[in-house]
Amino acid sequence: MVNLNIRHELKLLSRNFWFVSLSLVLVLLCLYAGHNGLKHYERRTADQQEALAAQQAKEQLIKEVALTLSKGEEHPNAYRLSPMNLAISTGRLGTMPATQMSKLAIGQSDLYTHQLKIALNEDLATLSFNELNNPVQLLFGNFDLAFVLTYLVPLIIIAFTYNLRTRELESGRLKLLASNPIKINLWLLQRFIIRYFFLLLILTAILLATVLIARTGFSMQLLVFFLLTYAYLAFWFAISYLANLLGRSSARNAVSMLSLWILLVLVVPTVINQAANTVYPMPSRVKLLNEIRQTKKELSKEQNKVLDEYLRNHPELISNKGENAYGYWQGYFASQELTEKRLAPLIERFDAQLAKQQRWVNAWGILSPAVMFHDGATRLAGTSSAHYEQFKDYVRSFSLNWRAHFMPFVFKNEMLGLQELDNLPEFQFRSRSRTAGVFMNISVLLVFSALTVIWGLALEGKRQLI
């Protein structure tokens, strides 16, 4: 029966005007989405290149100054080698490079920064929170391939399967079919599986074309992205199969499938998103900023005490030039560290709430296949909220490093030489691939699909199918 049904479906689909034209529309949509992703990637990369080039030019200039000085000559810009200048106005540029896969799933990258200057005077507390705090990735946003797959492909699946049984029922053909020695739910399952593989083949071809247009190259992530897509398709086919077995009319099936689409793709993600904020509300940012300002003000009143305490904690920084060796900046950094120490519990509460929100979203995201798919896609693309979180963490720890590296120079008021310039910490962020986590998403989608199909098969004999 399989061969027979394959030939049958091929004939029916290829002679179906709507199927052929919608497939063509899908081709155009995907290619356009791929093109969009490529443009987005190029823009982001060009921005970063430009910023990095400017930064390098600055550093080159400083090197030249150092070179001149090392020869014992004078240089009008000698001040550039002061620790304050190097650590604050030159600083370091932290970048989060776009991955090849980000062309396919841009995610919410518009809302996040991918590059920022790391300087000694930045407050770690504010640095961490000027990013979007919400761990849920909105599913919509950029018109990329992930968008087309998350939103539009389920609609196409619904359009081509919602009445596969009910149409036969309504036309009266189902009786003619069922007068043969076949089991209707198995026969229907076969038609669904055939259509599934048919769409899978078409979509694979389209995806490959898109990948070529976007020039992502081939990688393990791409392969997993394909698998994830197949699992997502399977879910929608399975749901439609069940709706066909349960439903008595095509019109009602269409309505229930579209309602389900609205529920799973639009409503559930939004509700999970909102609920995360309600259940684990973020402490007020304004309050945090106020606290920081307040604490700094208090500390500035007792500069000497602050500096004393700081030096007690960092005896290695004590200068042999005595008390007079310390000026404004030494006091500034001492109070910066103390402020952070005092506000640590508050900052930790932010982090903890954020982590809780993230866990909540991860747990409840299972309720929406669209979330499962989109989350998986952005993980593979390095544009998931987890990646931005990781970038933020890296920036934070790098800032600490940067600070620790410069403090001895600041406190000893020493200029840096050629050799010290070469030993400055380098910012090297590479997103870790999260392919492993995506297999969880794939499994969830497949388990849901399998359970749905089993439910449908179990209806044999329990429900009037003819």
At residue 229, what is the residue type? T
State which of residues 177, 209, 317, 366 lies at the interface with other proteins (CB under 8 A). 177
Q: Which is nearer to other proteins, 349 or 463 (CB)?
A: 463
Residues in the chain, how many? 466
Q: Which is nearer to other proteins, 176 or 458 (CB)?
A: 176
Q: Which is nearer to other proteins, 167 or 252 (CB)?
A: 167
Angle CA 345–350–352, to nearest 5: 85
Q: Least Å distance between CB 185 and other proteins?
A: 13
- Rule CB under 8 A: say whether 462 interacts with other proteins: no
- Rule CB under 8 A: say whether 2 interacts with other proteins: no
Q: Least Å distance between CB 242 and other proteins?
A: 22
State which of residues 173, 285, 293, 341 lies at the interface with other proteins (CB under 8 A). 173
Q: Least Å distance between CB 462 and other proteins?
A: 12
Tell me which residue of 314, 398, 328, 413 sits closest to 119, measured CA to CA. 398
Q: For helices 250-261 and 153-161, what crossing angle results, to 10°?
A: 170
Which H, E and C letters describe 13-37, residue by residue?
A: HHCCHHHHHHHHHHHHHHHHHHHHH
Binding to other proteins by CB under 8 A, coded x per residue (else -) over 46-85, reads: ----------------------------------------
CA-to-CA dists, residue 416 to 81, 244, 334, 422, angstroms:
5, 75, 21, 10
Q: Which is nearer to other proteins, 16 or 300 (CB)?
A: 16
Other CB atoms within 10 Å distance of the CB of residue 51: 16
Q: Least Å distance between CB 238 and other proteins?
A: 24
State which of residues 71, 74, 180, 328 lies at the interface with other proteins (CB under 8 A). 180
At residue 43, what is the residue type? R
Q: How far apart are CA 352 and CA 354, in angstroms?
A: 5
CA-to-CA dists, residue 26 to 22, 188, 202, 451, angstroms:
6, 25, 10, 29
Q: Least Å distance between CB 15 and other proteins?
A: 4
Residue with tokens 């509700």: 271
- Rule CB under 8 A: say whether 178 interacts with other proteins: yes
State which of residues 43, 175, 215, 287 lies at the interface with other proteins (CB under 8 A). 175
State which of residues 71, 73, 76, 179 lies at the interface with other proteins (CB under 8 A). 179
Q: Least Å distance between CB 180 and other proteins?
A: 4
Q: Least Å distance between CB 249 and other proteins?
A: 16
- Rule CB under 8 A: say whether 20 interacts with other proteins: no
CA-to-CA dists, residue 458 to 185, 212, 242, 288, 338, angstroms:
9, 43, 11, 57, 66
How far from chain centre, in Å, is Cα 168? 44
At residue 416, what is the residue type? L
Tell me which residue of 87, 140, 403 sits closest to 265, measured CA to CA. 140
State which of residues 24, 61, 111, 176 lies at the interface with other proteins (CB under 8 A). 176
Q: Least Å distance between CB 16 and other proteins?
A: 7
Q: What SS3 state is found at 381?
A: helix
Binding to other proteins by CB under 8 A, coded x per residue (else -) over 181-210, reads: xxx---x-----------------------
Per CB under 8 A, residues contacting other proteins are: 1, 4, 8, 11-12, 15-16, 171-173, 175-183, 187, 464, 466
